[in-house]
């Protein structure tokens, strides 16, 4: 039996899918199968995939149904004892599967192994480091504070646990990976690998760039997570919400500025201020975000870009 099933959902991924597949083919761990779920692509994705010949690759063409459903379809086809998901524009370092597999082998009580993430652009250039947080065992409270797995391309999971916690929630259009981590953490221990092994690609059109929808869906995820722990302290709830709005704020000011984005960012800032219990320690961040939001809300694009550069220089 295959040990690890790697699942890549893809929709119109012609620009990145080849490199993503190669990052699986180049793994030092060799006992894997690759399941590609084509989620109704209309570009040349399938032609590119067809050029890569490997007996361990299985491709399934499906009607477009979104990321969560595509991952679930992959789970249904998986033959491995372990499952790892990889988004069609992300990359792994060559030792990712091997190191995470060894971590789970060393900790048989754990159901999930995860690593650190760094962020890259469309040209594979380094943008910034991820959180680089390593937690072991019962991580539910830590997940409430922040999604330290950071993305859906990270975890290696024992397949058998999906029979217990269920598959991805297809009603969610964002944050479905965070929701899954909560459901797993409520029952099973996690084990962290303190090494960068996931390269998350940032683009203006990526799902994480759709901030309004991400806010709505992540609030649903947190609400469900809070309900599972009724004894949760009010201070931890506030910290969880504050960190969510801080994350959304920082994501919102990435990319091209515009007035609608500026107004929404001001709303995110207000919620961050409302929930942040230690506001004074983040005064500079609040000042910078507020100034950027005001610039986006008030000035046309050319003037916004000039003022953005001046604010960036001041902040640094």
Domains, the chain = 4-208 (3.90.550.10), 233-313 (no CATH)
pTM of the model: 0.87
- Kindly write down the DSSP assignment for every residue of the chain, as one continuous string: --SEEEEEEESS-TTTHHHHHHHHHT-S---EEEEEEEES--SSHHHHHHT---TTEEEEEE----HHHHHHHHHHH--SSEEEE--TT-EE-TTHHHHHHHHHHH-TT-SEEEEEEEEE-TTS-EEEE-------B--HHHHHH--TT-STTS-EEEGGGHHHH-S--TT-SS-HHHHHHHHHHTTS-EEEEEEEEEEEEP-TTSGGG-HHHHHHHHHHHHHHHHHT-TT--HHHHHHHHHHHHHHHHHHHTSSS--HHHHHHHHHHHHHHHHH-TTGGGGHHHHHHHHHHHHHHHHS-HHHHHHHHHHHHHHH-
Per-residue pLDDT of the chain (316 residues; tens, 9 = 90+): 799 999 999 999 999 999 999 999 999 999 999 999 999 999 999 999 999 999 999 999 999 999 999 999 999 999 999 999 999 999 999 999 999 999 999 999 999 999 999 999 999 999 999 999 999 999 999 999 999 999 999 999 999 999 999 999 999 999 999 999 999 999 999 999 999 999 999 876 554 458 889 999 999 999 999 999 888 889 899 999 999 998 888 777 765 666 666 677 778 877 888 887 565 556 666 666 566 555 555 545 454 454 445 545 544 4
């Amino acid at each position: 039996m295959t040990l690890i099933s790697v699942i890549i959902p893809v929709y119109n991924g012609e620009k990145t899918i080849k490199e993503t597949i190669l990052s699986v083919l180049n793994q030092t761990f060799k006992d894997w199968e690759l399941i590609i779920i084509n989620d109704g692509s209309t570009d040349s994705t399938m032609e590119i995939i067809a050029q890569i010949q490997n007996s361990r690759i299985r491709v399934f063409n499906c009607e477009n149904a979104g990321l969560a459903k595509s991952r679930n379809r992959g789970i249904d086809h998986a033959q491995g004892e372990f499952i790892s998901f990889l988004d069609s524009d992300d990359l792994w370092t060559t030792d990712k599967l091997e190191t995470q597999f060894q971590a789970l082998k060393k900790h048989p009580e754990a159901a999930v192994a995860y690593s650190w993430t760094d962020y890259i652009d469309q040209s594979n250039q380094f943008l910034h480091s991820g959180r680089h947080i390593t937690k072991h065992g019962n991580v539910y409270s830590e997940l409430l504070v922040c999604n330290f797995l950071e993305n859906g391309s990270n975890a290696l999971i024992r397949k058998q646990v999906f029979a217990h916690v269920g598959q991805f929630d297809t009603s969610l259009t964002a944050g479905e990976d965070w929701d899954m981590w909560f459901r797993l953490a409520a029952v099973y221990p996690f084990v962290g690998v303190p090494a960068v092994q996931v390269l998350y690609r940032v683009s203006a059109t990526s799902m994480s760039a759709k901030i309004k929808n991400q806010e709505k869906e992540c609030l649903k995820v947190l609400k469900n997570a809070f309900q599972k722990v009724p004894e949760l302290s009010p201070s931890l709830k506030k910290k969880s919400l504050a960190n969510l709005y801080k994350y959304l704020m920082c994501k919102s000011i990435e990319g091209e500025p515009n007035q609608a984005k500026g107004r929404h960012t001001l709303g995110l800032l207000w919620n961050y201020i409302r929930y942040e219990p230690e506001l004074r320690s983040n005064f500079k961040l609040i000042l910078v975000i507020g100034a950027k939001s005001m610039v986006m809300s008030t000035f046309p694009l050319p003037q916004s870009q000039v003022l953005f550069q001046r604010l960036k220089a001041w902040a640094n």
